[in-house]
Amino acid sequence: MMAGQPVVALESTIISHGMPYPQNVETALRVEETVRQAGAVPATIAVIGGRLKAGLSADEIDMLGKKGKDVPKASRRDLPVLVARGSDGATTVATTMIIAHLAGIQVFATGGIGGVHRGAEKTMDISADLEELARTPVMVICAGAKAILDLGLTLEYLETKGVPVIGYGTEELPAFYSRQSGFKVDYRLDTPEELAAAFRAQQEMGLGGGMLVTNPIPTEFAMDPVQIGAVIDQAVADACQLGIHGKEVTPYLLARVAEITSGDSLAANIQLVLNNARLGALAAKALTR
């Protein structure tokens, strides 16, 4: 922790690639304020002018929001070139974990992680987020893997890599927009103190890697799993028809789902991020005690 203070890392891909301007900037600032109100220090992470930065100014957040998709989406493989060129980069879950760890930040709150994409047995499209969880010692708090993914295969991959998948107050893996997925997590923990104790034990034993904490979207903002499932199926079919692949898939699918739901999915996305930020602050505080 920085100077003994609880700190929560926040990603920047959601700013440049996750929402339109100015809603992206407004949401980023709301998330930071939520962390502060819960008693921790927010550290939004990005690559700015070739520098790895943990903690952005309001002007830097606004710049990322205005430039939007003109800012490269930066995963582990992109960091060397972006730094060498002195470029900007919006950090994914994987890259945010890397920079958080370099800065001594142990807790990272985000919306949803990447995972194994549908049809990965043919495309081999598996997010680098999963590999980072297996190697970088950061507690990642999310609302589950993004519902556009193959959740069952994502859990299998995490099991193979030895990543503990914790349900916060639940035994079932949340499915991002909804609270149910039909899949079980490894363990249920019910308090920030339990999360901190488990993460501390993992690190003290030298097991390596991170811990995934899945925090269900609040009930009042959750979407019906059957209805959102049908919408996601339609978005996936549209992406296949358009030949969209690689790192463009997730931004397209999230935008298409928001379009089909007339913005309801985007509103749910904002609420689950705020919910995760609150829990991130509580977990970070528990780790400092």
| Chain segment 133-182, per-residue pLDDT in tens | 999 999 999 999 877 789 999 999 999 999 999 999 999 999 999 998 99
pTM for this prediction: 0.93
Residue 63 scores a pLDDT above 60: yes
Could you report the per-residue pLDDT of 248-257, keeping only the tens digit for each?
A: 777 788 788 8
Span 224-238, average pLDDT: 89
**Is 273 among the domain residues?**
yes
Q: What is the pLDDT of residue 1?
A: 44
Tell me the pLDDT of the chain averaged across its residues: 93
Query: Which is the catalytic residue, given 32, 60, 73, 146?
Result: 146
Write the pLDDT tens digit of every residue in 76-121. 999 999 999 999 999 999 999 999 999 999 999 999 998 998 777 7
Cβ-based neighbours of 163, under 8 Å, separated by 6 or more: 130, 133, 134, 209, 210, 211, 212
**What mean pLDDT do residues 174-198 have?**
95
Q: What is the pLDDT of residue 3?
A: 61
How far is the CA of 95 from the CAs of 52, 136, 217, in angstroms? 10, 10, 24
Confirm whether 156 is domain-assigned: yes
pLDDT reported for residue 236: 83
Question: Is 1 a member of any domain?
Answer: no
Measure the CA–CA gap between 18 and 34, rounded to whole angstroms.
19
146 is known as an active-site residue: yes
Task: Please give the tally of structural domains in the chain.
Answer: 1
Pairing between strand 41-48 and 89-91?
Answer: antiparallel
Count of alpha carbons within 13 Å of 289, Cβ hemisphere only? 13
Burial track 76-101 (b if 16+ CB lie within 10 A, e otherwise): bebbeebbeeebbbbbbbbbbbbbbb
Task: Report the distance separating Cα 233 and Cα 150, nearest Å.
Answer: 11
2 part of a folded domain: no
Query: How many other C-beta atoms lie within 10 A of the C-beta of residue 136?
Result: 21
> How sure is the predictor about 232, in pLDDT bands with cuts at 50, 70 and 90?
confident
Residue 11 known to be catalytic: yes
Residues forming beta bridges with residue 2, ordered by sequence position: 5
Residue 70's CATH number? 3.40.1790.10
Say what percent of the chain tops pLDDT 90.
76
- What span, in angstroms and rounded, lies between the C-alpha atoms of 167 and 46? 28
Q: Which domain range does residue 257 map to?
A: 7-288
Section 63-83 average pLDDT: 96
Is 241 within the bounds of a domain? yes
137 preceded by a cis bond (ω within 30 of 0): no
Catalytic residue among 11, 32, 60, 132: 11
